[in-house]
A and B are shown apart, each in its own frame.
Chain A
């Protein structure tokens, strides 16, 4: 045997060890893969040998190879062999390999249970330590279940090293096997007061991780942590505790108030930046949580902001980064305090570090005002020109839009400027992924700011004209969608509609849904042109127009996209129909000519005039009617639709959406009703396709039908959530009837107001001076205006109308008229508030292991036994004794108050979810069930200790059932509730037993059972 061992070792000398392998790989840089393949073959041979040292060596090499990206799971069995070696050296190598390549789903793990258990219970603390380290990386639910007890035993090991590791290990066990949390928790809590600082720190660490996801359950531990915080000097632990408090304060504002003082002291005293920073963070969290109630914490805010300023001004980039990060948290609740440091934050925009620039961008949101918006945007655009890296550029673009569009464009004083900025963004950021965002902005501004439409349509015409299709990214094409829609919908504002029409008719390589919009808007512009032709009685040009459009549309109808084809064909047929009328009318008019000595032009015009009076004249009337009906199709003002409007429309009674209306399916008509939240443009195109189909049909329909269709279209548009982008904040008062007449009247009124504002000189632009961006011009212009304004002092007055129109021009009082009005009306079904939030569950992650850990732990807090005792006394005597102040500790008093209120709640809301009321019920003296309670109580008073022992396991199982239930269902059925009451009373009885025993024997040996259900009875409370 010995000989064999020596022989094995001797052979081993000539094996490749890890160093040789590494060296070999380095020597074979050119054909590394081949060399490693060869090595793996050797390793396979080595693994077949009996000698454990050889295997160990092979596994060590495998671990290295794994790091280089090779799968070594095929050696799983050998790794386990090495792990099971009795020698520490091999064991360590084995566990390392296992931790690198095993994972919770590895099937081999079931072979390891007993081996790991043996290691955990090993005499050598390092065997157990190595096993714990390895296990922490690959522990599976099965292993967690089987080993939970062993690890729990290790938590009370005599060796601090093992206690520490075991405590951390328990967290991993909880994640995989949540049932372990309840029985293990009392022990874990004990470890918070462990004599060894390492163990203490580990326990804090674990509870922090647990509490981060389910803070509510750990609130009762606050006093323990509070004590630790004020006594400990271990910065690592302090940081964790302070972070934990940051998570707890939102749930318990009173805790926050208590925290402010010690935290402020720490901020003043500590020299560790990490601790200082975490203190500030938690103070901020506290301030946020109590900001509503207490306004007199300005001193604390001031302190935080000052300290943060010091951080930001520091030359250390890390501190600067963190300072900005924390600032952004303050910004949400105390924007004023942050705005004082605008200079600093704006300076950070120019920092060389991208992380810092990104952070200061976040803050920019709160820094803008009407006065400096243009300035800031100018700087951002400047950055964008210089910046490298698409990520940062995209972020910049996003921020520009975000700060401009916030609160319904509150800070934008000049929308022509804003549109120019958007167009510049399009030109600058050809490759950006935010094309859709810009498109939405263009649409939003054009629709909601009526004054700017004329400018917008001309801008968009230019954009359509100059947009280089080939080089652009796919995403940026979306702006063409918006541009085409704007020029079409607001074609009345077009300066040169014919030019625009030609631009739209230009053949280009674009995605189908955008081409479709092009065709659709060609029809709109055509209609508009045709109407003008009719008005000016210019038949010739109308016919020319028809011919021209027809010819160009042919190219569209041969495009490979079915939707474009359909639209183009419908448009063609429509226009052809119109044209054919003229052919007929021409021949007829010649007949007329013979009778009346007038030119055909005159005849048509007179007919036109006659038409209105008596619609009997046949042929030209038809053409006119066609044009008029076409115009009707596109008539009416479109207003934004609230994003959730569609979902809020109540389903009419008796309407079954799944039922066939007309028997079996024939066509695609259901397109328009389908809701596609994400694909805004695609689905918008779909729905328009639906309406287009109707329009084509409507040609053969009677006027009433047309009218009906038109109404249907309007209603559909008003219910279509895709018609416009959402508004960030609009108050409830904006509920409006869908597409009602009042709306359009209202808009007309706006026009009336604004018509006399001189804007004509603004729209001439386009040829730009070299070196100065177009958007900069507005900035300069504004500056000069401001200068002028300073000359004549004028008082500011902000105007508000009952219609909640946001006037964005408190600074342009010169003519005391709003320059731009943002229309904030939105279509909503009646009785629906915009603020309704229903997306909360979107965060819901079914795979989050922490969900299962949301277990009410019945953590007793410091004064809890006292309360209980008091209640015990008061329960039989009808609760008429006054509450005695048990402790001067305000926190515990507050806790008590809280619990009381909880008790009330639990009485009032019997059928609330278990999770929320469980705790209170545990603590509640059975006010609700006093009678039965007392009855049982008397029975139980004389239960002997043996009986009590026998009862213990039962109640543990009850406990388990209950827990299961709380996992499964939230709503308690009546049955469950009764069961729970029983459980509750059982628990009370036990408490009484304990109490009784205490009284009788002054003994405190009841811990065992009560610990199992999470109730501890500190012996000092015994009378």
Chain B
């Protein structure tokens, strides 16, 4: 069983948190903090497994993580999961994100946290691995996106236009100039 899936950046800012066991919000934040502290002090060329984390689980639980550029993807799993299998799963997750967002970067995760959740829901359900085949996952996501588009139809067009204009707001663009937000904005326009 997977107990929690956390994504945070190099500074410990949460980008996605999914707990398959209930913790209240304060506890969740503490867990994220603790996990970040454990993971962030490790060098890049050490192994991806980590025992402990006193807050979440006991000795049966392991933290399995991968570090991609600015983001840490951390899975907290118990001994019924294969360690290397979970590492593969993280890879599948990230590759799926990459396919869905086209060259995914941290900003995609920030602005589309809900979409990331929906993608994750196709991989893991209630703490159990649902699907590991990327083509299948992508097909499911595609079909659901189609549904959403259908429903939005014409009535959503003005809203999209406005949000596209908002997305191009100039001060923010200047602020984010070094980040590839502009292509993202353009992509949004295409929808």
**A386 smallest CB distance to B (angstroms):** 16
* Proximity string of chain B (107-121) to chain A, C-beta cutoff 8 Å, 1 when within and 0 when not: 000110110011001
Which chain A residues lie closer than 8 Å to B152 at the CB level? 89
Q: Give the interface segment out of A64-72, A462-470, A493-501.
A: A64-72
Interface residues of B in 50-104 (CB under 8 A from A): 50-52, 80, 82-85, 87-88
Complex Cα–Cα for A5 and B158 (A): 13
Chain A CB within 8 A of B48 CB: yes
Interface string of A85-99 (1 = CB under 8 A from B): 001110011001000
Which residues of chain B come closer than 8 Å to A406, judged between CB atoms?
A: none
Q: Which residues of B contact A87 (CB under 8 A)?
A: 151
Q: Which residues of B contact A277 (CB under 8 A)?
A: 82-84
> With A9-B158, A9-B159 given, is the CB distance from A236 to B132 under 8 Å?
yes
B126 touches A317 (CB 8 A): no
B155→A9 contact, CB < 8 A: yes
Select one of B48, B131, B132 contacting A318, CB under 8 A: B48
- In whole angstroms, how far apart are the Cα atoms of A318 and B46 in the complex? 8
Closest 6 CB pairs of A and B: A136-B126, A274-B84, A103-B22, A317-B47, A353-B46, A69-B29
A-to-B contact residues, CB < 8 Å: 5-6, 9-10, 12-14, 17-20, 22-23, 26-27, 60, 63-64, 66-71, 87-89, 92-93, 96, 100, 103-105, 124, 126, 130, 132-133, 136-138, 161, 164-165, 168-169, 171-172, 198, 202, 205-206, 208-209, 212, 236, 239-240, 243, 273-274, 277-278, 317-318, 320-322, 352-356, 358, 391
Is residue B167 contacting chain A, with contact meaning CB distance below 8 A?
Answer: yes
Whole-angstrom distance between the alpha carbons of A70 and B17 in the complex?
13
Q: From B79, which residue of chain A is reached at the shortest CB distance?
A: A212
Complex Cα distance, B156 from A278, in Å, reads: 51
> In the complex the two chains form, what is the Cα distance from A570 to B187 in whole Å?
87
Judge whether B162 and A13 touch: CB under 8 Å: yes
* Contact of A67 with B163 in the complex, beta carbons under 8 Å: no
Contact residues of B between 120 and 141, Cβ < 8 Å to A:
121, 125-133, 136, 140
Whether the Cβ atoms of A168 and B128 lie closer than 8 Å is yes
Chain B, residue nearest A278 (CB): B82
User: A19 and B111 in contact (CB under 8 A), knowing A5-B155, A92-B144?
Assistant: yes
Residue numbers in B under 8 Å from A92 (CB-CB): 118, 144, 148
Q: List 19 A-B contacts (CB under 8 A).
A: A5-B155, A6-B155, A10-B158, A12-B159, A18-B111, A23-B172, A71-B24, A89-B152, A92-B148, A96-B121, A103-B22, A136-B126, A168-B128, A169-B126, A206-B128, A274-B83, A277-B83, A321-B47, A321-B49
The yes or no answer to B12 lying at the interface (CB within 8 A) is: no
Docked-complex contact B25 and A66, CB < 8 angstroms: yes
For chain B, give the interface size range: 35 or more
Q: Which residues of B contact A172 (CB under 8 A)?
A: 126
Contacts of A358 in B (CB 8 A): 51
B128 to chain A, nearest CB (A): 5
Q: Is the interface of A mostly helix, strand, loop or mixed?
A: helix
Nearest CB of chain B from residue A928's CB, rounded to whole Å: 40
Which single member of B45, B47, B128 contacts A355 (CB below 8 Å)? B47
A88→B46 contact, CB < 8 A = no
The minimal Cβ–Cβ distance linking B83 to chain A, given in whole angstroms, is 6
Residues of A within 8 A of B16 (CB): 67
Name the distance in Å between B22's Cβ and chain A's nearest Cβ.
4
B residues less than 8 Å from A126 (CB atoms): 143-144, 147
CB < 8 Å neighbour of B151 from A9, A13, A88, A198:
A88
Q: Which residues of B contact A69 (CB under 8 A)?
A: 25-26, 28-29
Please give, as numbers and ranges, the residues of chain B lying within 8 Å of A60 by CB-CB distance.
114
Chain B window 1-34, contacts with chain A (Cβ cutoff 8 Å), 1 for yes, 0 for no? 1000000000000101110101011101100000
Bound-state Cα–Cα, A117 to B130, Å: 22
A354 touches B46 (CB 8 A): yes
**A678 vs B140: C-alpha distance when bound (angstroms):** 55
Whether B87 contacts A96 by the Cβ 8 Å rule is: no
CB–CB B151/A318 < 8 A: no
Q: Are B121 and A133 in contact (CB under 8 A)?
A: yes
B131 touches A239 (CB 8 A): no
CB of B35, distance to nearest CB on chain A (Å): 14
Q: Nearest Cβ distance between residue B32 and chain A, in whole angstroms?
A: 8
Interface set of B (CB-CB < 8 Å, partner A):
1, 14, 16-18, 20, 22, 24-26, 28-29, 42-43, 45-52, 80, 82-85, 87-88, 110-111, 113-114, 117-118, 121, 125-133, 136, 140, 143-144, 147-148, 151-152, 155-156, 158-159, 162-163, 166-167, 169, 172, 175
A9 engages B125 (CB within 8 Å): no
B residues within 8 A CB of A23?
Answer: 111, 169, 172
Contacting residues, chain A, for B147 (C-beta < 8 A)? 88-89, 124, 126
Complex interface: chain B residues within 8 A of A64 (CB): 113-114
Query: Residues of A contacting B156 with CB < 8 Å?
Result: 9
- A26: which B residues are within 8 A, CB to CB? 110
Report chain B residues within 8 Å CB of A63. Answer: 113-114, 117
Q: Check B45 against A205 for contact (C-beta < 8 Å).
A: no
Partner of B136, one of A198, A209, A352: A198
- In the complex, what residues of A have CB within 8 A of residue B166's CB? 19-20
A45→B31 CA distance, assembly (Å): 32
Q: Which residues of A contact B118 (CB under 8 A)?
A: 92, 96
Q: B17: which A residues are within 8 A, CB to CB?
A: 67
Find out whether the CB atom of A96 lies under 8 angstroms from the CB atom of B117. Answer: yes
Q: What's the minimum C-beta distance from A9 to chain B, rounded to whole angstroms? A: 5
Contact between A208 and B82, CB atoms less than 8 A apart: no
- B50 with A355: CB separation less than 8 A: yes
CA distance A137 to B126 in the complex (A): 5
A60 to B116, CA, bound (A): 13
In angstroms, Cα B125 to Cα A236, docked, is 16
Q: Give the shortest distance, in Å, between A241 (CB) and chain B (any CB).
A: 11
Q: Which residues of A contact B155 (CB under 8 A)?
A: 5-6, 9
Are A168 and B125 interface neighbours, CB within 8 A? yes
A322, B83: Cβ atoms closer than 8 Å: yes
Q: Is there contact, CB below 8 Å, between B117 and A274?
A: no
Q: What is the minimal beta-carbon distance from B112 to any residue of chain A, in angstroms?
A: 8
Check B125–A136 contact: CB distance below 8 A. yes
By beta carbon, the residue of chain A nearest B167 is A19
Q: What residues of chain A lie closer than 8 Å to B84, measured between beta carbons?
A: 273-274, 277, 318, 322
Contact A18 to B114, CB < 8 A, known contacts A198-B131, A274-B85? yes
Assess the B148–A88 pair: CB atoms within 8 A.
yes
Taking A6-B155, A9-B156 as given, write out 10 further A-B residue pairs in contact, using a Cβ cutoff of 8 Å, ordered by the A residue number. A22-B113, A23-B169, A27-B175, A66-B25, A205-B128, A209-B1, A273-B84, A274-B84, A318-B48, A355-B47
Min distance, Cβ B146 to any Cβ of chain A, angstroms = 10
Closest chain A CB from B31 CB (angstroms): 11
Contact of B129 among A13, A17, A205 (CB under 8 A): A205
- With a cutoff of 8 Å between Cβ atoms, the chain B residues found around residue A13 in the complex are 158-159, 162-163
CB distance from A597 to the nearest CB of B (A): 80
> In the bound complex, do residue A320 and residue B125 qualify as a contact, i.e. CB atoms below 8 Å apart?
no
The docked-state distance in angstroms from the alpha carbon of A353 to that of B159 is 52
A89 CA to B155 CA in the complex, in Å? 14
Q: Are B88 and A274 in contact (CB under 8 A)?
A: yes
Shortest Cβ gap from A278 to chain B (Å): 6
Q: Report the separation of the CA atoms of residues A17 and B156 in the bound assembly, to the nearest whole angstrom.
A: 13
Chain B: which residue is nearest A198 at the CB level? B131
Give the chain A neighbours of B45 by CB distance below 8 A. Answer: 317, 352
| List of A residues within 8 angstroms of B20 by Cβ | 137
**Contact among A14, A161, A165, A171 for B162, CB-based, below 8 A:** A14
Residue with the highest number of chain B CB atoms closer than 10 Å, among A13, A67, A212, A236: A67
A124: nearest residue on chain B (CB-CB)?
B147
Min CB gap A62→B, angstroms: 11
* Interface core residue of B18, B25, B110 (most chain A CB under 10 Å): B25
Asked if A318 and B22 make an inter-chain contact with CB atoms under 8 angstroms apart, the answer reads: no
Q: How far is the CB of B46 from chain A (nearest CB, A)?
A: 4
Cα distance A490–B80 when bound, in Å?
A: 53
Contacts of A100 in B (CB 8 A): 18
**CA gap between A169 and B20 in the complex, in Å:** 13
Chain B residues positioned under 8 Å from A67 (CB to CB): 14, 16-17, 113
Alpha-carbon gap, A19 to B187, bound state (A): 14
